[in-house]
């Protein structure tokens, strides 16, 4: 029977193949949807990376927003090249996450959730009033990265969607390597029992800080793609609804599984689109679906599948699978 | 000490127009204005208190993060609206709506929420966000999207002369209700057997259960009282803030902040938290109108940096994090 890692990676691979195939047959509108899902998937990956060490952020839109505002600011306001603005946005996301993390990762659980919410809402409040970025009305005209030198035109919606899918896949593979590395194993150990890691001499604080910083970089990358995709920036991108959406995507998919985030993100985007274009009161149905997932699959879809796989394995070879328990 | 991220924001934000700030400070030096704002803050704090106490004790007792608490508040406000439409007085609404809200809340708990009791906070978040979505859309289907008004009771519609300050009687009534509930809850928690059971459950659930206390029953009762008080908040808030779909979401974040700032599971914590946030919100809007939203978040960030478990948490939550 397949190992947990094998199941997770197969789901990830299936998602990538599915997205690429769907993208190549899709019309303009579906391509835009796929790009939206892929950007949310990157964002969800960043949240799940943080969840690896047991921290749940309810203000991740703030880090996404750093990517959005830095990219938009450098390109539109400063007239800089988008190719330069992109890496700067990512580094800024990491830097802000590092500075916030210095204080924030001292707390855990519900308190970490609220601290991150507070910081994100302060950025929202700033963006709401910012004259530079035209405040609540928002600002348009954000250019996309120029890759014409290598023959890629990102202004073509299909190419843009494909690029975001590829970037998402690369980030996913990188994070798979990270969680399998000693660093990632330590993060998982911190999630399971921070006191024991500390007793064994692990620097819980620094590992959490590093995870938060890395998560901030990935979130800012998603943000830089987000403003390129919708060509527009407004504080709505930083509101706690966005943080809630990505958290829900990760929980639906299965927290701590990495592929769960992208799967949940894809489902959420598709669900919202299908429900809202076919039903009047679609939030009622979305709410029902959330409730069903929460009650039937409390570990999310991927978590449910992994447990199912374990149960099947246990039926076949009871002695062997006990050792693979808890391998993320 | 301020979190570096906020100082980044401070540097990058445009300078606030000086005149507004001075204007706000000048207004504050006017005793009449100051007293009014003081009472407004107090009134808002009381509403937050009525909502937060249920959330905090439920969290403290069962570790349950119930975001749909605000939906009960909204539901009660709509029940009050319906009673007013049917010709019932405000007092009928105040007597009936919270009871209906508590009945709905407790049924919701036993039918749906209880099933996620052991699922962890995130499952609870997903489930209760689902309940929020369903509740909001059901309200929309029945009552439509437009905000509704609920009239103030006749007897409280005038202004009261309070040491030379004219202040609406209805708002004083809200303050009085809040203070009354605080006093009753204080004595109920400190002086009654049920209160002792609740405190025991919050401090150490496992030991309390070993001693033969049925925490499940205590919890159901506490949940009922919490939703009843959320219902009271919904009814008394309706004439002031109006009734609209989404009023639950707009207040639940503030209530969560109150709970976290005050510290989980303690009455004192909720009182302190609701006063702090109520005042920070009202005076933030006067002193720094541009950054009113920022004020409460700043207060929360500062509190959590210095006291990571909130100001006055119950004993079990007072360890770091």
Q: What is the number of CB-based contacts under 8 A between chain A and chain B?
A: 158
A102 lies within 8 A of chain B by CB: yes
Interacting residues of B165 by C-beta distance below 8 A, sequence separation 6+:
B32, B35, B36
Residue of B nearest to A108 (CA): B321
Contacts of A56 in chain B (CB under 8 A): 121-122
Chain B: closest CA distance from residue A112 (Å): 8
Q: E strands within chain B? A: 159-162, 165-168
How is chain A split into domains, by residue range? Answer: 8-239
Per-residue pLDDT tens digits of chain B, which is 321 residues long: 333 333 333 333 344 444 444 455 666 677 778 888 899 999 999 999 999 998 888 888 778 888 899 999 999 999 999 999 998 899 999 999 999 999 999 999 999 888 888 878 888 888 998 999 999 999 999 998 899 888 888 888 888 877 777 888 899 999 999 999 999 999 998 899 888 888 888 888 888 889 888 888 888 888 999 999 999 999 999 999 899 998 888 888 889 889 989 988 889 999 999 999 999 988 888 887 777 777 888 888 888 888 888 888 877 776 543
Asked whether the beta carbons of residue B308 and residue A106 sit closer than 8 angstroms, the reply is yes
**Chain A residues 14-53 with CB within 8 Å of chain B:** none
pLDDT of residue B114: 86
Asked whether the beta carbons of residue B260 and residue A106 sit closer than 8 angstroms, the reply is no
Asked whether the beta carbons of residue A295 and residue B127 sit closer than 8 angstroms, the reply is yes
A106 lies within 8 A of chain B by CB: yes
Instruction: Look at residue A328 and tell me whether its pLDDT is greater than 70.
Output: no
Tell me the per-residue pLDDT of A246-296, one tens digit each, with 9 for 90 and over.
Answer: 999 999 999 989 999 999 999 999 999 988 888 878 888 889 999 998 899
Backbone φ and ψ of A139, nearest 5°? -140, 135
pLDDT of residue A323: 52
Q: Which residues pair with A233 in a beta bridge?
A: A139
Q: Which residues pair with A232 in a beta bridge?
A: A140
Backbone φ and ψ of A152, nearest 5°? -115, 125
CA B130 vs CA A113, A305, B32: distances in Å = 19, 22, 45
| Distance between CA atoms of residues B118 and A316, nearest Å | 29
Helix (H, G, I), strand (E, B) or coil at A12: helix
| Distance between CA atoms of residues A11 and A17, nearest Å | 10
- When pLDDT is averaged across residues A168-179 and rounded to a whole number, the result is 95
| Distance between CA atoms of residues B47 and B57, nearest Å | 16
Chain B: closest CA distance from residue A69 (Å): 12
Instruction: Look at residue A30 and tell me whether its pLDDT is greater than 50.
Output: yes
- The dihedral built from the CA positions of residue B84, B89, B90 and B96, taken in this order, carries a sign that is negative
Asked whether the beta carbons of residue A287 and residue B310 sit closer than 8 angstroms, the reply is no
pLDDT of residue A276: 87
pLDDT of residue B275: 95
Give me the DSSP letters along B303-318: HHHH-TT-SS--GGG-
- Please calculate the CA angle B257-B263-B268 and round it to the nearest 5 degrees: 105
Chain A: closest CA distance from residue B114 (Å): 10
Contacts of B301 in chain A (CB under 8 A): 103, 115, 118-119, 122
- Between B305 and A51, the more confident residue is A51
- The tokens of B126 are what? 């997903």
Task: Using CB atoms, pick whichever of B130, B291, B310 lies closest to residue A125.
Answer: B291
Tell me the per-residue pLDDT of A288-311, one tens digit each, with 9 for 90 and over.
Answer: 999 998 899 988 999 999 999 988
- Between A320 and A110, the more confident residue is A110
Q: Which of A38-42, A57-61, A222-226 has the weakest average pLDDT?
A: A57-61
Asked whether the beta carbons of residue B116 and residue A294 sit closer than 8 angstroms, the reply is yes
Chain B: closest CA distance from residue A129 (Å): 7
pLDDT of residue B15: 41
Contacts of A96 in chain B (CB under 8 A): 5, 8
Asked whether the beta carbons of residue B297 and residue A121 sit closer than 8 angstroms, the reply is yes
Chain A: closest CA distance from residue B1 (Å): 10
Asked whether the beta carbons of residue B5 and residue A122 sit closer than 8 angstroms, the reply is yes
Chain A: closest CA distance from residue B246 (Å): 12
CA A124 vs CA A60, A243, B288, B294: distances in Å = 12, 12, 16, 9
**Chain A residues 122-141 with CB within 8 Å of chain B:** 122-126, 128-132
pLDDT of residue A319: 56
ipTM of the complex: 0.81
Chain A: closest CA distance from residue B164 (Å): 37
Chain B: closest CA distance from residue A100 (Å): 6
Task: Using CB atoms, pick whichever of B5, B129, B297 lies closest to residue A96.
Answer: B5
**Chain A residues 257-286 with CB within 8 Å of chain B:** 281-284, 286
Task: Using CB atoms, pick whichever of A99, A251, A291 lies closest to residue B122.
Answer: A251
- B228 CB neighbour count, 10 Å cutoff: 23
Asked whether the beta carbons of residue A103 and residue B305 sit closer than 8 angstroms, the reply is yes
How is chain B split into domains, by residue range? Answer: 41-150+159-245
| Distance between CA atoms of residues B257 and B255, nearest Å | 5
Asked whether the beta carbons of residue A100 and residue B4 sit closer than 8 angstroms, the reply is yes
Q: How far apart are the first and last CA of chain B?
A: 20
pLDDT of residue B17: 44
Asked whether the beta carbons of residue B134 and residue A284 sit closer than 8 angstroms, the reply is yes
pLDDT of residue A99: 94
Task: Using CB atoms, pick whichever of A115, A288, A290 lies closest to residue B301.
Answer: A115
| Distance between CA atoms of residues A85 and B288, nearest Å | 33
Q: For chain A, what is the mean pLDDT?
A: 90
| Distance between CA atoms of residues B176 and B181, nearest Å | 9
CA A237 vs CA A89, A120, A240, A245, B202: distances in Å = 15, 11, 9, 11, 38
Asked whether the beta carbons of residue B309 and residue A111 sit closer than 8 angstroms, the reply is yes
């Amino acid at each position: 029977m397949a190992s947990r890692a094998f199941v997770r990676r197969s789901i990830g691979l299936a998602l990538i193949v599915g997205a690429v195939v769907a993208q190549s047959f899709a019309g303009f509108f579906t391509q835009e949807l796929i790009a939206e899902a892929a950007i949310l998937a990157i964002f969800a990956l960043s949240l799940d990376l943080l969840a690896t060490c047991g921290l749940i952020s309810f203000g991740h839109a703030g880090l996404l927003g750093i990517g959005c505002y830095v990219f938009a600011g450098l390109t539109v306001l400063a007239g800089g090249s988008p190719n330069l603005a992109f890496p700067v946005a990512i580094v800024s996301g990491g830097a802000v996450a590092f500075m916030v993390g210095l204080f924030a990762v001292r707390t855990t659980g519900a308190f970490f959730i609220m601290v991150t919410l507070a910081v994100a809402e302060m950025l929202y409040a700033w963006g709401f009033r910012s004259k530079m970025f035209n405040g609540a009305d928002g600002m348009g005209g954000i250019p996309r990265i120029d890759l014409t030198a290598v023959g890629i035109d990102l202004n073509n919606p299909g190419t843009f969607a494909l690029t975001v899918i590829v970037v998402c896949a690369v980030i996913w593979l990188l994070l798979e390597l990270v969680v399998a590395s000693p660093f990632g194993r330590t993060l998982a150990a911190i999630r399971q029992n921070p006191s024991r890691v500390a007793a064994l001499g692990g620097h819980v604080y620094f590992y959490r800080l590093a995870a938060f910083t890395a998560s901030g970089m990935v979130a800012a990358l998603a943000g830089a793609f987000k403003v390129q995709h919708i060509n527009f920036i407004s504080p709505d991108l930083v509101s706690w609804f966005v943080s809630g959406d990505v958290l829900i995507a990760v929980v639906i998919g299965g927290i701590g599984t990495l592929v769960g985030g992208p799967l949940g993100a894809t489902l959420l985007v598709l669900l919202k689109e299908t429900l809202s274009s076919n039903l009047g009161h679609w939030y009622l149905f979305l709410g029902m679906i959330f409730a069903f997932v929460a009650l039937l699959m409390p570990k999310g879809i991927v978590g449910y599948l992994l447990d199912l796989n374990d149960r099947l394995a246990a039926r076949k070879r009871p002695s062997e699978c006990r050792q693979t328990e808890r391998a993320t | 000490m301020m979190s570096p991220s906020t100082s980044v924001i401070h540097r990058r934000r445009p300078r606030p127009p000086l005149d507004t700030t001075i204007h706000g400070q000048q207004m504050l030096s006017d005793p009449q204005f100051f007293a009014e704002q003081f009472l407004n803050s107090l009134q808002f704090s009381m509403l937050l208190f009525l909502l937060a106490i249920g959330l905090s004790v439920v969290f403290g007792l069962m570790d349950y993060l119930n975001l749909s608490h605000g939906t009960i508040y909204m539901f009660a406000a709509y029940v009050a609206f319906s009673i007013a439409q049917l010709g019932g007085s405000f007092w009928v609404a105040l007597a009936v709506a919270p009871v209906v809200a508590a009945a709905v809340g407790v049924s919701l708990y036993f039918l749906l929420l209880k099933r996620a009791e052991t699922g962890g906070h995130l499952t609870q978040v997903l489930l209760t966000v689902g309940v929020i979505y369903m509740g909001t859309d059901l309200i929309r289907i029945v009552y439509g999207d437009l905000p509704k008004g609920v009239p103030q009771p006749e007897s409280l519609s005038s202004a009261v002369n309070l040491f030379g300050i004219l202040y609406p009687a209805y708002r004083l009534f809200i303050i009085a209700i809040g203070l009354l509930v605080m006093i009753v809850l204080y004595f109920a928690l400190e002086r009654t057997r049920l209160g002792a059971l609740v405190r025991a459950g919050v401090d150490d659930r496992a030991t309390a259960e070993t001693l033969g206390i049925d925490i499940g029953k205590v919890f159901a009762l506490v949940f009922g009282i919490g939703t009843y008080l959320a219902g009271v908040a919904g009814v008394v808030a309706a004439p002031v803030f109006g009734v609209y779909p989404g009023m639950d979401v707009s207040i639940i974040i503030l209530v969560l902040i109150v709970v976290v700032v005050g510290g989980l599971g303690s009455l004192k914590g909720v009182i302190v938290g609701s006063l702090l946030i109520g005042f920070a919100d009202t005076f933030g809007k006067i002193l720094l109108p541009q950054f009113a939203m920022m004020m409460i978040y700043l207060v929360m960030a500062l509190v959590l940096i210095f006291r990571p478990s909130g100001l006055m948490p119950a004993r079990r939550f007072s360890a770091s994090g």
